[in-house]
Structure 1
Amino acid sequence: MVSWLLLAISTISIFSDVTTASASDQCLGVDQRLLLLELRNSLVFNASESSKLVQWDQSANSWSGVTCEDGLVVGLDLSEESISGGIDDSSNLFRLEFLRSLNLAFNAFYTVAILSSLANLSRLAHLNLSNAGFAGQIPVELSCLTKLHTLDLSWAGLKLEKPDMRSLIGDLRELRELYLDGVNMFACGNEWCDVLSSSVPKLEVLSMSSCSLSGPINASLMSLANLLVIQLDGNNLSATVPSSLSNFSNLKTLSLWGAGLHGEFPHEIFQVQTLQTLDLSSNSLHGSLPEFSKNNSLQTLVLSDTDMSGRLPDSIDTMRVTLKGVKLEFVKILTMFKLIDFSSNGLAGPIPDTLGDLKLLHVLNLSHNALSGSIPPVLGNLGQLESLDLSRNYLNGTKLA
């Protein structure tokens, strides 16, 4: 649940620059309609699972997933169409030369390499091949798509070795969103920060979870001043967290769960007023964490499996617990939270009644701690609560209202 919520918060629309209205018979030229029909006839897909391709014909309003402008196809969304083949170097797909947006995500191109012919679609601003089953080396020809604003190659069984990361993104100066989650980037070593900082100055979303990255997060990354989202979960950075991350004045999401981080977590990061989601779970972090700014925007805080100990507070105005023996404070801004996960720690003592004041809370997880006493009946007043987990504690009480 946490992973999907983080994804929902952090991801910016991949087709934001292209209208989402479906093309009609009136706005598509005859040649464009013929190209689309020939493309549909060449594709291998399961008609029973298709909601777009099966509708394509010569009639009006039948071109689901197609966006046109001045009679030309500028957007093609064939995501979740169970396509398993039929695209090669001679495909009509590459004759749609005015395409600015192409989405083939969540299909079934299992073990098929990404075609270098995609470079022929030189007007592309948005390319999404995520979860599509592509495999093997990412072709360097994608570096020719110099107008790209969004590139999503995540969770597709790919690797980035030769050519390397610099060869892929070195010329993508207009890139705003980069999703490489699950791409094997072990061969990139610890140079990825330097490559990013020198290649994609306009980057706003950086998502490279489970990429076999190594650390550290060095100071060069701070030159990407426009970053809104940083997701580096599931890597082996084996490093401390630099305090300079707090210099990202527009940062909304910082997700570092299971990233092999250690040492003192810089308290300055908690003062980033735009930060909405912070996940530090499953890391060996410690440090003095100050109270949050009164203008804090935090809605999701995940500190599970971080050796937290001590008592939950009696007052929500200033909440105090201990992270590896160091005081941790939360001010009344917690009333804005929608998700709190302090599970798998060493918290002791009672659950305070003041948790019932968190009226926007959707998820509260205090499981696998050493909490004791009665379950406060006021938790039953949390009308937005969808998930409450107090298991593996020493609690007692009556049924919640």
Structure 2
Amino acid sequence: MNMGSTVVRFLSIATLFTISLLLCNANLSAPCKQNERQALLKFKHDLEDPFNQLSSWAGEGDCCNWTGVVCNNLTGHVREFHLAEMSFSGKINPSLLNLTHLSYLDLSINNFQGMQIPSFLGSLKSLRYLNLSDSMFVGLIPHQLGNLTSLQVLDLSGDLEVESLEWISGLSQLQHLDMSGANLSKASDWLRVTNTLPSLVESFHMSACGLYHIPGGIANMTNLKFLNLRYNSISSTIPKWLYRLRHLQSLILSYNYFHGEISSSLGNLTSLCKLTTLHMSRNNLNGQLTDKLDHFEKLRHLDLSYNSISGPLPPSFGNLSCLETLSISGNILTGVVSQLHFTNLRRLVEFYASGNSLTLETTPHWLPPFQLTDLVLNDWHLEPSELPMWLQSQTQLRVLSMPNTRISGTIPTWLWNFSSQLEYIDLSENKLYGEVPHIFLNSQSSEILMGSNQFNGSLPLVSSTVWTLDLSNSSFSGTLFHFFCNNKSEPKALSILHLGNNLLSGKIPDCFRNWKNLETLNLESNNLIGNIPRSLGYLLSLKSLHLRNNHLHGELPPYLKKCTYLTILDLSYNKFLGKIPMWIGSSLSHLRVLSLRSNQFHGHIPYKLCDLTSLQILDLAHNNLSGRMPRCLYNFTAMTRFDFGSAFYNNVSSDGYIIENANVVTKGREVKYGRLLLGMVISLDLSDNIISGEIPKELTSLIYLQSVNLSYNLLSGRIPPKIGDMRWLESLDLSMNQLCGQIAPSMSRLTFLSALNLSYNNLTGEIPKSTQLQSFDQSSFIGNKLCGPPLEVNCSNTNGTVPPVADQKHGGSDLLEDGWFYLSLGLGFLFGFWSVLGSLLLNLPWSIVFSRFQNSIVKKLCGVIVEHF
């Protein structure tokens, strides 16, 4: 080889090497194509970009450098679109069709509300990745997407619908399919019988799709690794073909109606040797757990919660050495769990086992092999019955939940010191006693639930990071001053505070300026005195205020109207007086519960209360209210529909424990409603006042009222004829009034009625015939001129008249003469007594006492007259 040929060869190699370097240099990549640049600008024009995310899409610059755009370095063609989480809305311009080399399109987590997925996307033949999830698209999924034969990833999760899924069979290269949230009920049968689902799929997600069957085509997905069918309505045993999916790593079947023996279900799943995640919670699985659990050597996440699994926890649990999260809550497991069950669980991080009848037996010096972050043992029995010492070794603990575990003793100081990560503590409903030390945690936010114990002494001080505190139902004593007024300059994070049912005394301190995050304040059933402090008006986020059953007095202060987000206001069983202020109706428009029961309010019921359109519970009983019932009752629109009271669920702790509750008097007894039930109660109680006039017919428009009590008033006229429209009535009390005429025949339609009292009115005629009305005791109708069952008075023997019923309280003396005698005697006594007490009545407290005394006499006299006539 001569020197010249060698030089030529060297130069050729060097030139090729240099060209390769230049082509591989990103800084010298080809610019985007002009026609594609124009297509991008048209696409941007039709978008609404509230945060100006596409500000770089402008000028004459290289569009390959624009936000979210990726080009091919060699050709300059737009290859990928990364536009997720941009808050876009508006329209998708068909100019995308000019991007003929587009292989990746991600528009997920945007806000195309009210827009259908454009069918022209099915013409982007180069697409391999299409993600439109959670972007608020609605309507039908276009079948044209079936033309995307090169597609490997398709994510359409969201609120969509389909009429047919046959187009999926054309996606022969598909490896990931997610249609979670789409309504597939119309295609459910096709999915059940078809064998044409893409066989290459490795990840298949169809949660919350309205499915009634497991899609049959899954049996042919031999490469399947991830299967998610939760939140459907699938009712069957686990199909045997599922056990042949040897590559399956994650199986999620939660929130369905799968049934059968848990032992056989898990036993067959042992063939899935690569399984790392198994979720079967919220189904109908029963029987006892199998001892074959140790076959799941790779299992990391196991959730069998909320089934009907019984029997003991098998020791084979201790062999799941890879297990990180275990949830067996909400079953009917029994027996003893010992240290042996945890021998090899070195990787266990989360353990949820509440709602079983299990007993945990450990030795005092046991050191667990794991480091937990979440420990939930609600309703277990701990042996010994004390706060376990081994908790001190769990330095990563965030959640500690042991309510109703029968533990006793005092709170050790190490509980607040051993973990800097502790965020949630629930030790409620136990037998803990003694004083609670001051609570100072290092975590940024924390919830402490320790109600229903036997604590005493003063309230503890809490760190400013605590945002939920429940110390109710104990024996804490002393004043509230140090709790609320300590370190006034430090803002408090506390949002939910429940100190009710203790022995706290003194005034409510005027120190709420630094507690502006409070949303729930519950001080009920203590021994508090004085007025409502002015600084409560600074609680602009307050949603519920419980001050019932104390010794508070005075008029309702106007600064409460600043708390415009109040949904619950319970001031019952106190000594508040004056008129019910108009501003309750005009300023507290979000109220759902208003209880002023058993106070000393007087005057008319203000018509502005009718502006409380969200009101579900109104209790003004046992006051001195007079005048007529307002006719604007139809404005209580929340009593005309049934929405499960979603507004009550704002104050929820991290594990779903709802702090909120309300007391309702119905069927003659007081009931505390909490959690889910509170939003389902609709009640009206105006009993034991001096309300006169007729029952307004507008009352019957409140068709979802469940409890109505108007007893012990001076109501006259007839029972509204359309009272039968109130089909949901369970309790109705109209006793001790002056109602006349016949019982409305429509009352026979009240099929849910289980408590009825019409006694001591002036009702006449035959009791309407219905299965419901005849089932009540005679006491529901006495003190009237009624006949027919359940009374023994036969209507056919009365010739249209019913003999007067003897007054059981007055021995049946001469009715007319006794009535006027009592009235004359009472009025004479009052006028004579006036001259003696005139000077005393100039003093406000004496005037209130005398007013209540006078009202009670008038009500009793009027009751006597009604009965006697």
Coarse TM-score class (shorter-chain normalised) = 0.7 to 0.9
Question: What residue identity is the alignment partner of 1:83?
Answer: F
Cα 1:389/1:27, change in 2 over 3 Å:
farther
Which amino acid counterpart does residue 279 of structure 2 have in structure 1?
A: D
Secondary structure, aligned partner of 1:136: coil
Structure number with bigger Rg: 2
1:132 paired with 2:135, answer yes
For residues 146 and 366 of structure 1, what CA distance do their matches in structure 2 show?
51
Which whole-Å CA distance do the structure 1 matches of 2:27 and 2:242 have between them?
Answer: 47
C-alpha distance in 1, partners of 2:406/2:156? 46
Equivalent residue number for residue 209 of structure 2: 211
- Please, which of 83, 86, 92 is the counterpart of residue 91 of structure 2? 86
After superposition, the C-alpha distances for 1:53-86 in whole angstroms (9 at most, x for unaligned) are 2233455784222221131111101111111113
Does residue 76 of structure 1 match 2:81? Answer: yes
Offset, 1:350 = 1.8
Q: What secondary structure is seen at the aligned counterpart in 1 of 2:291?
A: coil
Q: What is residue 150 of structure 1 aligned with on the other side?
A: 153
Q: Match for 1:374: what amino acid? A: E
Distance 1:315 1:272 in 2: 18
What is the aligned-residue identity percentage?
28
2: distance between equivalents of 1:255 and 1:355? 33
* 1:120, distance to aligned residue in structure 2 (A): 1.5
Give the counterpart letter for 1:247 in structure 2: R
Partner Cα distance (2:359, 2:229) in 1: 34
Does the CA contact (< 8 Å) of 2:210 and 2:232 recur in 1? yes
CA distance in structure 1 between the partners assigned to 2:247 and 2:196 by the alignment: 20
- Distance (Å, rounded) in 2 between the aligned partners of 1:174 and 1:315: 41
Alpha-carbon distance between aligned partners in 2 of 1:184 and 1:355, rounded to the nearest angstrom:
50
Q: 1:63 to 1:332 in 2, by over 3 A?
A: farther
Deviations 1:127-153 (A, max 9, x none): 111001111111110110111111111
Cα 1:27/1:285, change in 2 over 3 Å = farther
Paired with 1:271 and 1:355, the residues of 2 have a C-alpha distance of: 34
Across the aligned residues of Structure 1 and Structure 2, the Cα RMSD in angstroms comes to: 3.3
Alignment partner of 1:33 is 2:33: no
Number of the residue aligned with 1:227: 224
Identify the structure with the greater helix proportion: 2
**Displacement, 1:43?**
1.6
State the alpha-carbon separation in 2 of the partners of residues 126 and 120 from structure 1.
Answer: 14
CA distance in 1, matches of 2:268, 2:316: 24
- Which residue does the alignment assign to 1:15? none
**1:116, distance to aligned residue in structure 2 (A):** 0.6
CA contact (8 A) 1:291 1:331 kept: no
Residues 336 and 73 (structure 1), Cα distance of their counterparts in 2 relative to 1, 3 Å cut: same
Cα–Cα, structure 1 residues 205 and 276, in superposed 2: closer, same or farther, change >3 Å? same
Alpha carbons of structure 1 residues 376 and 272: separation in structure 2 relative to 1, 3 Å: farther
**1:347 aligns to 2:348 (yes or no):** no
How many Å apart are 1:313 and its aligned residue? 7.7
Alignment counterpart, residue 358 of structure 1, candidates 343, 357, 370:
370
One-letter identity of the residue aligned with 1:95: N
Gapped runs of 5+ residues in structure 1? Answer: 1-22
Who is 2:178 aligned against?
179
Distance (Å, rounded) in 1 between the aligned partners of 2:55 and 2:41: 11
Correspondence for 2:101 among 87, 92, 98: 98
Contact between 1:102 and 1:128, CA under 8 Å: does it hold in 2? yes
SS in 2 for 1:141: helix
Structure 2: which amino acid aligns with 1:366? L
How much does 1:299 deviate?
Answer: 1.7
User: What's the CA shift for 1:111?
Assistant: 1.4
- Which amino acid is 1:211 matched to? C
1:94/1:282 Cα in 2 relative to 1: closer, same or farther (>3 Å)?
Answer: same
Letter aligned with residue 102 of structure 2: L
How many angstroms apart in 2 are the aligned matches of 1:254 and 1:300?
10
Q: Which residue, 122, 125, 136 being the options, matches 1:122?
A: 125
Cα 1:342–1:273 change in 2 (3 A) is farther
**Partner residue, 1:108:** 111
Structure 2 contact 110–135 (Cα < 8 Å) conserved: yes
Distance 2:317 2:212 in 1: 39
| Matched position secondary structure for 1:357 | coil
TM-score (norm 2): 0.39
Specify every segment of 5 or more residues in structure 2 that has no aligned partner in the other structure, as ranges. Answer: 1-25, 321-327, 419-869
**What's 2:57 paired with?**
56
Task: Go from structure 1 to structure 2 and tell me whether the alpha carbon gap of 1:208 and 1:330 turns closer, same or farther (over 3 Å shift).
Answer: farther
Secondary structure of the residue aligned to 1:38 is helix
Separation of aligned partners in 2, 1:63 and 1:382: 49
* Mapped contact 1:129–1:152 kept (Cα < 8 A): yes
Q: Structure 2 counterpart of 1:178, which letter?
A: L
**Once the two structures are superposed, what CA deviation does each residue of 1:193-234 show, in whole Å capped at 9, x if it has no partner?**
443x4230001111000101002565x532211111111111
Name the aligned partner's letter for residue 347 of structure 1. Answer: S
Partners of 2:257 and 2:367 in 1: CA distance? 31
Contact 2:291 2:316 in 1 (8 A): no
Q: Is 2:294–2:319's contact at 8 Å kept on the other side of the alignment?
A: no
Q: 2 CA distance for matches of 1:262 and 1:276?
A: 22
Q: What is the rounded CA distance, in whole Å, between the counterparts of 1:122 and 1:160 in structure 2?
A: 22
Q: Which residue of 2 aligns with 1:254?
A: 251
> CA distance change for structure 1 residues 299 and 365 in 2, over 3 Å: closer, same or farther?
farther
User: Which one is further off, 333-342 or 93-102?
Assistant: 333-342
Aligned-partner Cα distance in 2 for 1:125–1:82: 24
Q: In 2, Cα distance between the equivalents of 1:231 and 1:43? A: 33
Structure 1 match to 2:819: none
User: Partner of 1:12 in structure 2?
Assistant: none
Q: Distance in 2 between matches of 1:395 and 1:223?
A: 53
Q: Secondary structure at the match of 1:188?
A: helix
Deviation of 1:35 after TM superposition, in Å, equals 3.0
Q: Is the 8 A contact 2:343 2:369 kept in 1?
A: no
Matched residues in 2 for 1:187 and 1:355: separation? 55
Supply the AA of the counterpart residue of 1:278. Answer: L
The whole-number CA distance in structure 2 between the counterparts of 1:379 and 1:244 is 44
CA contact (8 A) 2:161 2:184 kept: yes
The aligned counterpart of 1:291 is 292
Distance in 2, Cα, partners of 1:247 & 1:355: 41
Q: Please tell me whether the aligned partners of residues 302 and 342 of structure 1 are also in contact (alpha carbons under 8 angstroms).
A: no
Cα deviation code 1:288-314 (max 9, x no counterpart): 423334661222222221234556689
TM-score, normalised via structure 1 length: 0.79
